[in-house]
Amino acid sequence: MASPSQEAETQIKRVSEYFCGPSGRANYDQLRLVAETMSARYKMLSGWAARSGEEFLHEAINCCYKVDGNGCCSRRIPAEIPVNVALIGIMKSLVSHAYHSKGRRLAAEMPSLKPSGDSGDVLPFEPHVTMWSEGDDRLTPEEREDALSRIDDFMAFVKSDRVLHGILLLVRDEGLNKPVSLLAQRLGVSENEIYQARKRLASAVTRYIKQQEAA
């Protein structure tokens, strides 16, 4: 078993630090929501019994910890790429591969994750044990499903506001909400239009809530 290279050690530390500290739990929950959205979308299209988004997230994280025979991480995150952006990209690859695998779809099930030691060394990822206290509340599967449904409803509600809808798509699908210059570039608008759209978000939420209450 090769010892991790300096680059691998740096990456492992970087990924671990992303899920620790004051914002660690929020970072994890945001990525889990992105993962659940990806998984749910493919499940609706294909009908296969997918693993949960959380399982895809854990697999993506473990890919960044896995060390090959040369001491390098099998999934390298370049220094200039944010951890959340890299993990979203890996999850997209994992979910897409699962969806396009004909044999798996025909079997209507996904294979379980390989245990540590089957292919390189994988550090166990148990956020409820290693990163946060056991008393932390977490959404139940039913609550997560309801949240995802509400997100889709709200996205449809603001679809007529092209800039605001575009911002929310980037947040939902890529976890991208800053910098403003990048959002403006991706949507082909000015930075001022991004700021104005963000201001409209609060009033849109208020209108949406009132509509739901009146229904």
C-beta of residue 18 within 8 angstroms of C-beta of residue 84 = yes
Helix (DSSP H) and strand (DSSP E) numbers for the chain: 10, 0
pLDDT score of 51: 65
Query: pLDDT per residue over 44-87, tens digit each?
Result: 544 445 567 788 888 899 888 888 777 788 788 888 888 888 89
Higher pLDDT, 117 or 204: 204
pLDDT at position 179, please? 82
Q: d(Cα 103, Cα 84) in Å, to the nearest integer?
A: 30
Checking if the pLDDT of 103 tops 70, the result is no
Report residue 15 CA to chain centroid gap.
14
Predicted confidence at residue 140, as pLDDT, reads 64
Distance CA(143)–CA(165), nearest Å, equals 24
Q: Average pLDDT, stretch 107-131?
A: 46
What pTM value is reported for the model? 0.50
pLDDT value of position 67: 82
Contact between 109 and 48 under an 8 Å Cβ cutoff? The reply is: yes
Count the alpha carbons within 13 Å of 162 in the hemisphere toward its beta carbon: 6
How far apart are alpha carbons 147 and 141 in whole angstroms? 10
